[in-house]
C-alpha cells in the first residue's frame, strides 16, 4: 500500500510523511481534477493515514480497492464517480485495467493516477533510467498516447526543519544516494515534482501537459 513514492521501513516512512508536501498540494489538485467531495470514490491501494483521510473527507462514499496483479474493483457497473491511486498502481497502461475502471465509472467519471514526475531533487534518490521519470512522462509515452490521459504536474517539496535533519533522514532512508543528495542541499527543502495522470471514462480528450 502506498501514500508515498518509496517503500521504506515504518519509522522512516512515518518521518517522511511529516515533511512530504506539507502544503497539501497533492490532495488539493486531486480534488480539483476529480471533484471528490460529494462523489462516490474508489481508492486503489491507499493506506489509512492523513492523506487518505483528506481524500475521503466529504466524499459521499469511499470504496477501498486492494492491490492485485489483475485489477478487480468490487463494485457494480457505473457505481463510482472517481477512481484514484497513489504511486503503487497503474504502472503504465494496461487495457484490461482501464476497461475495469471504465466499467465501474459513471459516464462522466474520472481516473486519477499519481506517480512521481522527476526533473527534481527527489529523483536523485533512485537509480537513473526508471520509466516513471522517463517514458511515462513523455508526450509519446504510454499514458499520454495509448492511455488517453492528460497530465497535471504539481511542484511540491519535502520540507525539513533544518539541513541537519534533512541530511540525516535522507542518509538513513536512501543510503549513499541520500547522502549525496543531502550534501548538495543549500536549504532544508527538496524539490519534488508529482504527476497526476487523469483520464475521463473511455479516454476523454487528447493529452495535454499542464503544470502547477
pLDDT tens for 153-180 read 999 999 999 999 999 999 999 999 999 9
Whole-prediction pTM: 0.92
Tens-digit pLDDT profile for residues 41-92: 999 999 999 999 999 999 999 999 998 889 999 999 999 999 999 999 999 8
Q: Where are the domains of the chain?
A: 19-155+194-211
- Given this model, what pLDDT does residue 173 score? 97
Please provide residue 181's backbone torsions phi and psi, each rounded to the nearest 5 degrees. Answer: -65, -45
Question: Could you tell me what percent of the chain has a pLDDT over 70?
Answer: 94
User: What's the rounded Cα separation, in Å, for the pair 165 and 190?
Assistant: 12
Tens-digit pLDDT profile for residues 9-55: 999 999 999 999 999 999 999 999 999 999 999 999 999 999 999 99
- Given this model, what pLDDT does residue 203 score? 54
pLDDT category of residue 206 using cuts at 50, 70 and 90: very low
37: DSSP letter:
T
Most confident of 122-126, 128-132, 144-148: 122-126
Q: What is the CATH T-level fold of the domain 19-155+194-211, as seen in this structure?
A: Rossmann fold (3.40.50)
Q: Among residues 144, 122, 134, which one has the least CA distance to residue 196?
A: 144
30 CB-near residues (< 8 Å, 6+ apart):
36, 55, 84, 112, 114, 196
For residue 209, pLDDT beyond 60: no
Tens-digit pLDDT profile for residues 192-203: 999 999 999 975
Q: Among residues 64, 108, 104, which one has the least CA distance to residue 86?
A: 64
pLDDT category of residue 127 using cuts at 50, 70 and 90: confident
Q: What is the mean pLDDT of the chain?
A: 93
- Given this model, what pLDDT does residue 69 score? 85
pLDDT category of residue 212 using cuts at 50, 70 and 90: very low
Amino acid at each position: 500500500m502506498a501514500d508515498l513514492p518509496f517503500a521504506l521501513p515504518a519509522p522512516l516512512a512515518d518521518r517522511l510523511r511529516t515533511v512530504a508536501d506539507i502544503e497539501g498540494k497533492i490532495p488539493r489538485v486531486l480534488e480539483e481534477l476529480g471533484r471528490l467531495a460529494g462523489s462516490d470514490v474508489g481508492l486503489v491501494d491507499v493506506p489509512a493515514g492523513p492523506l487518505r483521510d483528506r481524500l475521503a473527507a466529504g466524499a459521499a462514499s469511499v470504496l477501498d480497492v486492494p492491490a492485485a496483479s489483475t485489477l478487480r474493483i468490487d463494485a457494480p457497473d457505473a457505481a463510482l464517480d472517481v477512481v484514484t491511486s497513489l504511486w503503487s498502481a497503474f504502472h503504465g497502461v494496461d487495457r484490461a485495467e482501464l476497461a475495469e475502471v471504465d466499467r465501474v465509472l459513471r459516464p462522466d467519471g474520472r481516473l486519477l493516477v499519481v506517480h512521481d514526475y522527476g526533473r527534481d531533487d527527489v529523483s536523485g534518490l533512485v537509480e537513473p533510467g526508471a520509466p516513471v521519470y522517463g517514458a511515462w512522462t513523455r508526450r509519446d509515452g504510454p499514458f499520454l498516447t495509448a492511455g488517453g490521459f492528460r497530465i497535471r504536474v504539481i511542484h511540491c517539496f519535502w520540507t525539513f526543519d533544518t539541513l541537519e535533519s534533512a541530511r540525516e533522514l535522507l542518509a538513513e532512508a536512501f543510503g549513499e544516494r541520500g547522502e549525496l543528495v543531502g550534501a548538495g542541499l543549500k536549504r532544508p527543502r527538496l524539490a519534488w515534482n508529482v504527476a497526476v495522470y487523469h483520464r475521463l471514462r473511455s479516454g476523454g480528450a487528447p493529452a495535454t501537459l499542464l503544470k502547477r
